[in-house]
């Protein structure tokens, strides 16, 4: 019985050693007969299209279909796909059926940024990339006096220490708080940054402007505003004031229409 067990162990070990090499040789000599593209979450949102990816895979006159797998540079394909800043991950591999497979994982935008004459998304990792017409999610819109640097456009996160101190870091933190709060994510529609790096908030409901001031102690300011929303405005009326100023500590200053 022990001899049989040893034989089975040896056979299993040989299989594990030989099969990967066999499959690698078989795959490398295989002719590529097609391209399969899988974009994660494409049913929910679309930052890039399959056509965008297919064009990059075959860019520069690179032939894919009809070429032996060993002559297809997967690394070069992945480098080309990395040009699509909308993708967080892009992987290329050839399967035993002779297909070049591309798996793409899209970035998850958390805010829209309109600044410096450009229209951008910022994802959950703080990466800035240009907005395209393919996808227009309902996000908090940030606009105004914000500088988008060349570092940011080259994929360096706004949270990275390599990026010099910028108001965008503070705004990103503020937006993350808002979007993760059920009440405020439903209330705040737009954020405007002025030349003094102070914020004005445009609500989804009502026509008043809310002056937050700096982002210092923004949580306390929003707590005061929530109390004001729930206890004062239902009595005074939602359209009584055209300005709600939260800049001063523990007080709210309002201006009547």
Residue 155 located in a structural domain: yes
Last residue of a domain, one of 106, 135, 159: 106
CATH number (domain holding residue 214)? 3.40.50.11690
Same domain for 53 and 130? no
What is the model's pTM? 0.80
Question: For residue 243, what are the contacts with CB-CB under 8 A and spacing of at least 6?
Answer: 208, 209, 210, 211, 254, 255
Q: Work out the pLDDT band at 166, boundaries 50, 70, 90.
A: confident
- The segment with the largest mean pLDDT, out of 43-57, 58-72, 104-118, is 104-118
Q: What digits encode the pLDDT tens for the residues 12-32?
A: 544 444 444 444 555 556 888
Last residue of a domain, one of 77, 106, 135: 106
Q: What domain range includes position 101?
A: 30-106
Same domain for 208 and 123? yes
Same domain for 73 and 177? no
Among 23-27, 108-112, 245-249, the range scoring the smallest mean pLDDT is 23-27
Residue 234 located in a structural domain: yes
CATH number (domain holding residue 76)? 3.10.20.310
- 191 has a pLDDT exceeding 70: yes
Question: Would you state the pLDDT for residue 2?
Answer: 58
Same domain for 90 and 128? no
Question: Would you state the pLDDT for residue 138?
Answer: 82
Question: Would you state the pLDDT for residue 172?
Answer: 96
- 218 has a pLDDT exceeding 70: yes
pLDDT above 90 coverage of the chain, percent? 49
Last residue of a domain, one of 55, 72, 106: 106
Residue 211 located in a structural domain: yes
Question: Would you state the pLDDT for residue 18?
Answer: 47
Residue 75, both tokens: 């690394």
Average pLDDT, the chain: 84
Same domain for 179 and 240? yes
């Amino acid at each position: 019985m022990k001899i049989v067990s040893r034989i089975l162990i040896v056979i299993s070990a040989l299989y594990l050693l030989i099969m990967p090499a066999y499959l690698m040789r078989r795959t490398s000599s295989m002719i590529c007969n097609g391209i399969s593209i899988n974009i994660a979450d494409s049913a929910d949102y679309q930052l890039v299209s399959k056509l965008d990816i297919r064009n990059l895979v075959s860019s520069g006159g690179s032939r894919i279909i009809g070429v032996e797998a060993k002559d297809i540079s997967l690394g070069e394909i992945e480098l080309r796909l990395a040009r699509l800043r909308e993708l967080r991950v892009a992987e290329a591999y050839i399967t035993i059926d002779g297909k070049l497979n591309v798996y793409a994982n899209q970035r998850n935008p958390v805010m829209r940024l309109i600044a410096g004459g450009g229209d951008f998304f910022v994802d959950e990792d703080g990466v800035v990339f240009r907005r395209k017409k393919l996808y227009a999610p309902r996000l908090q819109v940030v606009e105004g006096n914000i500088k988008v640097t060349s570092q940011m456009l080259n994929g360096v996160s706004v949270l990275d220490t390599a990026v010099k101190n910028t108001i965008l870091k503070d705004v990103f933190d503020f937006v993350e708080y808002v979007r993760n709060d059920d009440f405020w994510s439903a209330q705040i529609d737009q954020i405007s940054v002025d030349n003094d790096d102070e914020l004005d908030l445009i609500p989804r409901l009502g026509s008043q402007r809310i002056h937050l001031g700096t982002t210092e102690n923004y949580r306390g300011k929003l707590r005061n505003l929530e109390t004001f929303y729930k206890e004062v405005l239902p009595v005074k009326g939602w359209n009584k004031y055209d300005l709600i100023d939260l800049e001063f500590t523990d007080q709210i200053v309002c201006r009547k229409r």
